[in-house]
Structure 1
Amino acid sequence: MKANVYAAALGLLGLALTSNSASAQAPAPHRTCASVEVLAAQLAADPGLAQRMAAINNQAAQFAKSNQATNATAAVTLTIPVVVHVLYSTTSENISDAQIQSQIDVLNEDYHKLNADYTKTPSAFAGQVADVGIQFVLAKRDPSGLATTGIERKSSTTTSWGTADKIKSTSTGGLNAWNSSQYLNLWVGTIGGGILGYAQFPGGAASTDGVVISPVYFGRTGTVTSPYNLGRTASHEVGHWLNLNHIWGDDSGACTGTDNVSDTPNQGAENYGKPVFPHVSCSNGPNGDMFMNYMDYVDDNAMFMFSTGQSSRMNALFGTGGARVSLLTSMGGVAPSGGTCPTPASLAASSLTNTSATVSWAAATGAVSYNLQYRVSGATTWTTVNQTATSKSLTGLTAGTTYQYQVQTVCSGSSSAYSGIASFTTTGGTVAYCASKGTSVAYEYIDYVALGSISRTSGADAGYYNGTASSTSLAAGSAQTISFSAGFTGSAYSEYVKVYIDYNQNGVFTDAGELVVSAAASTAATTRTGSFTVPTTAKNGATRLRVVLSDNSATTSCGSYSYGETEDYTVNITGGARLDGTTVRTSGTTGLADQYTLYPNPATSVLSIARPLNMDPEQAFSVRVYDVRGTEIKGLSFVDGQLNVASLRTGIYTLSVSDGSKTSHQRFVKE
C-alpha cells in the first residue's frame, strides 16, 4: 500500500522527454509517457483543475469504500465507443484499419482479463489480477447520428506533434475531438522526443480529452516496433484516462509517493525492460514491486495485469457522481437502425436573466423527445431533462454564472449522440464592496484626486464620496500615476494615503497587488503622486478604485476610522486577462462575503492565510493541503495563520480551509 503522504511535485513527475522538434520517431530506449508533464501544464493554465481532480479522487475513495464486493467483477459493465483520429505525414504513419482493430482487441483483452499472459503473474499477486469489466468498440455512430467506422484520417505536413495538444485541433492542423462525454478519443500521430504516448486525466478540458499514441506503438500488428509492439502503450495510457496514476507514485524513487490505490506495493521508481521477480524496493519485500502492472514502464511482454484496487478506481468514474458517467448512456457504439436519428443542431440561448434562461434547438427528423443536459461550466455532473418541445426554460440559476448545455434526440428505438456543448451566462452578479468612511472631517479630508480622465477637486464630503459614475480606462501592463492631496481645516496633521484597485473584480481589495499606492505620512497640503503598473493578468472590464486618506497608518480598505475620508471611482481595464487570484471562495451560505486571503502566492517558505473581514478574529480555523492527485500532505506546521510550506517541493497544491461549519478550497503555488 502506498504511503498516504506527499507525492513528488510537478517538476519531478515522470521521466518523459517533451521535445516538440524531433523529426522522426526512433524506437524508444525506455518507455516514456508524458501524461504527468501534460497534466502539470494543464494545472498551471487552469486554476480550477486541481480542485476538480481532488473532487474526482474523493469520489473514487468513497466508491471504493461502498463497493468493496465489486472490485473484481467478472461481468462486462460498460462498453466505451472509441474514435481513432489518424494524422500522418508518411505512408507508414497512415496505419491500417487492421492495425487499429488490433489495438481495440488488446484493450478488450487487458481490461477484461482475457489476455493469455495474465497467468504469468507471480503467485504473490495472482489473487489481485482484476477483470476491470470495461470493453471498447470502434464507434458505429458519429456525433451527428450517422453511420461511421470510428476511424478518421488526415494527411498533414507535421512530422512531430509534441505534447502541446496541437494534434487535437483542426485549427493547429490536427483533428477535433468528438464529444468526449460520449466517446473515447484516440489520436494516432508521431509525437517525437521518444515519447510513446500521453493521456488526459479526468477533470480536464473536454476539447482535449483523450489519448495520443505514436503509430509505431499502436496495436500489435503492422508498423509496430519492439519492445512496445503488443498494444500495451494504449492499455497504460487509457489507464491514465480512467484516472490511474503511475504505480510508483511519481516521486523519483523517494518511496513517499502514492498511486492512490490501496493494494499496490509501495515502489521506489519506475521499472524498465523485463525485471525478475521479486524486484524489491522501498523495503517492500519479500514480494517487491508489482512491476508486471500496466501502469509501470516495463516492456509490453512484461506487463499483464491491473489490480483490484485499480479496477475500483477506474469503475468509480462510472458510479454515481462519476466524472465519466455520461459514457454509460452513449449511443456511439450502436449502429443507426434504418433511418438515422440526427443529433440536434442550431442550439441557442435567449431570455437571459439573473436566475433563468431559455435554451432552444432545431427540430430533428424522427424525434420522439429530447434529452437536455445542463450544468455550471466546469462541473463534472449534468442535470438531465426529457421533453418533447424544442425549447426549455431553465430556472433557479445563479446570477453572473456560465452554464453549459447539450441536447440528444430520442427516436423510436434509438437515440442520437449528444450535440456539441453550447454555453450561456446569466446576467447580474454585481459585486458589492465593503463600506469605508472617516467618522470626522473636522480636520482633514481629500480635496483632489486625478487619474487619467478622472479629475476632481472638492471640499469635505462627510467622510465618504461615491464617485463611481466617473471613470477612466487603464490598459493592462501600463504604467500609471495617480495624483491626490489633502485638505485641512485649521491645523495640518500627518496624513497617510492608500490607493486600491480590485484587479480581479471579486469585491475585495485584499488580494495580492491590489494596494497600488501606500503614501507615507505628510502634513503637506500640496499635490502628491503615486505610481503603479496595471498587471497584465488583470480582469477586463469595470472595477473599483478606492482612495483612503487617514491620520492612522493602520487604516485599511474597509470599515470606519476616526479622521479622514474615502473616495471611490471606476476604472475600466482593457487588454488584460482574468487574474489568478489568491482569494479563497467558501462553500458556505454566505458565499462571496466569506473570503480568506493567501499571500504571498507563489510562496517559498511561509504561506499566510488571512481571515475574512466579517469573521470573528478569535474564530479558529484549520487547514489541509493536497497534492495534484488529491492526496493529503501531512506534517506541515500551521501556527497563527501561517503555514510552513518550506518542506514542499516545487509545484501546485490545493488548500482547504475549514472553520467547522464551512470549507473553502483554493490553489497555491510553492516556488
Structure 2
Amino acid sequence: MKRNFTLKTIFAVLMLICTVNLNAQDRTCGMVEYMEEMMQDPDFAREYELNQKKFKAEVARRLSTDFNARGGNIVIPVAVHFPSGNEADRACLEALAQNQIDILNADYTATNSDIGLWTPASAFYPGLNPGVANISFCLAVSNHPVGIDPELLEGNPAVSIGYNFGGGNNADTNWAGYMNFVVRDIGPGLLGFSPLGGSIAAGQAVTMNLGAFGSGSGCPGSGIVPGAPFNLGRTVTHELGHFYNLNHPWGPGAPSCAADDGIADTPNTGQETYNCPNPGTQPGCNAGEFVLHMNYMDYVNDACMYMFTPDQMAVVDGYVAGVLAPQFKPNVCTPPAPGFNLVSANNEISSCPTVDNQVVFNFSYNTILSFTETTTFSASGAPAGATVTFSPTSLSADGDFTMTVGNLGATAEGEYTITVTGTSATVTESTDVLLKNTCTEVVCDPFASATNLNLAIVDGNAGNPGTPFLTNILTLPDLGAPIESISVNVDVSHTFVSDLIVRIIHPDGVTFVDVWNGNCGSNANFDVTFDDTAPAITCASPTTGTYAPTNPLSAFAGLATAGDWTILIADFFAADTGQLNDWSITVCTEQPLSVAEFGSDEFLIFPNPNQGEFTIKLNSSSNEDIIVDVYDIRGRRIFNNTYVNNADFNEVVRLNNVQSGMYLVTVSDGDKKTTKKIIVE
C-alpha cells in the first residue's frame, strides 16, 4: 500500500508495518488502512455506501429466489498498468499480465493446480468444499482508451507501460469500465492493497508491489520479478477478494475472536496466519475448530493458500452481479473489427479574433487490423464565419493530418467544441477538440525560495516522524485568476530518501498534495520537478528530472493563488539525515491576451518536448532585435541571447547539458513579449 493517504494515516500504517510485520517474509495487506483513509472522502464514502446497498439488495434477491441453477458466467475485462515498466519489455509484460489472468481464472474456479492439497486438509474441516465463482477474467483487447499510450494498439492486450495511472492514486477515470491492476513500487513491507467493495465505474484499481504480481521469472528488464514466498500470483487473488467485498477471515479490524468476516463457512479465527503451517495445527476461536489458513483471504505464503469457501464465492458472485456487472465496459474482450481511430495531439488551443487569423489542430489516423478503406475527414461545431480545411483531406493508411480553422477575425469570442469525423465506406469515427476563442492564454509564473535554505529535516525513529516537521513558506501574490495547473520543484539532500514524506499545502490550510511518499528506497538526494503530465519517477542517486507526484497536483486547480504556500517534510526513520536546499512553485493561470502578445499563427516553438534543442519561428513586424531568455523552474535565467531581426525569424536554441525538466522560454520583439513552457527530456 502507498504508505500514506494523509499524515495521520502515514503514522498509523508505518507503525503497523514496523511493529507487527518486522519479518519481511510475512504477507502484508493495506486494505484496512486504505479504507479508513478513503472513507473520509465524502464522494468515495457515498459511492461505497451506494454499492453496499446494491450488494445487500442482490443478496436479498438471491435469498428470495431459486439460485440452485447457475446463471451465465460473467466475464470481467481486465487492464494491467506498469507505470515504471520499460516499453522495450512490452512482450514480456504482456505475457506476465496474461499469466496473472490465468492464475485468477484457476483460483476463482477451484481449478488451480494445487487444489489437491485440500483433500488431506479437509479432514479438519468437515463438510466444507472449495468454492467456485461464476466469473472469469479476460485481458481486454479492443476499444482501448485513446491518447493513453501510443503503443496500446487495438487488437493487443490492454497493458499500459509508463502511464502514470491516476497520477499516482488508486483510481483513474480514463480506465473506468475495466478491472484495473496496477503494478508499482509501493515501498518495502507491503505486497498490495485494494478498496473493500471497489468501483469499476470510478476506475478504481487493485495495486500490487513489483515483486507480488504473476509467477515465473517475471520481467527483469522492468524490475518486475515475482519474489518468493509470494511468487505464485496469490497477492492479486487476495486483494481482488477485497475488491469483491471479502474481508479478512478475522474481520474488518484487528484480529480478535470477538469479530469475524461475516461468512458462515469460514471458521472464526481471531488471528492472522503467516508462513506455511500444517493443516490442523492452528486452533480457531471455537473449540474443535481450526483456522482455515489455506484460504486466499489469510496471510500465509502463496504456496500454502489454495481455496475460497462456497459462501465466500456467493459474496463475490453477488457483488459482481449486483454491483459491478453494469459498470463493465462492453465488447472489449472480443478482438476488434478492422477500422480506425482518430487521436488529437492538441486537444485544446487558445485563440483571439483580434489577434489570430488561424489555428492548426494536429491528429493521427491509426488503422486497426490492416484496414485499407479511404477515410475522408470533416468537422462540425466551428465558430460561425470560420473556415475549416484538412490536409490531407483523406487517408487510407496510418498517418498524420491537420485541421486548420481559419478566418478567425470574422468570428465571435467563445469556447467551441469542434467534432472531427472520419468517414469511410463502412466505418465512421469521431473525436472532439476545444477551440478557446476567448482572447486568453495560459501564463506560467515561477516563485522560488532562497537557493541555500539548508533547513535540517528532523530525524524520525521506528516509523515515528521527527518533530517538529520541517516547514517553509512561499508567499504568492494574487494572479487575478484561478489556478489552471501547477508544478513544484523540491531539492533535498538526504540519505535513504524513502524515509521522507513531502507535502505541499495550499494557503487555505485544507487542500494539500503529497508529492513524495517514501519513494526510491535507499537512494540518496533528489532534485525533482513534480508535474502531473510527467512520467512515473525513475530512482537514482541523486534522483533528478521531471516526474509525476505521488498524488496529483490537479487538486489545486481552480483555487486562488494568493497567500502562504507551505512545504512540509517529515522523516520517519532513524540514522539517515538531511536538509531542504530549496524549493519552488510554478503556477499557470489563464490570463487575458495582451494586444502586445504574439498571435498563435505568428509564434511557434518545436519540438516540445525536446532534448534541450528546439526551434523558434516568429513572424516579426518590428525592426528591433529579438531577445530570447530561458528560465528554469526556480526562476533562474539559464539562457540569454539577442538575435538580429528579420521578417521570418527562424533560430535553433541549444541548451547545453541542462537537466530534464520544465523550462520557461520568453521571446521579446519590440513591444511584444510572450512566454511558453517547454519540457526537456
TM-score by length of 2: 0.43
Q: TM-score, normalised by structure 1?
A: 0.43
Greater RCO (CA < 8 Å, at least 6 residues apart): 1
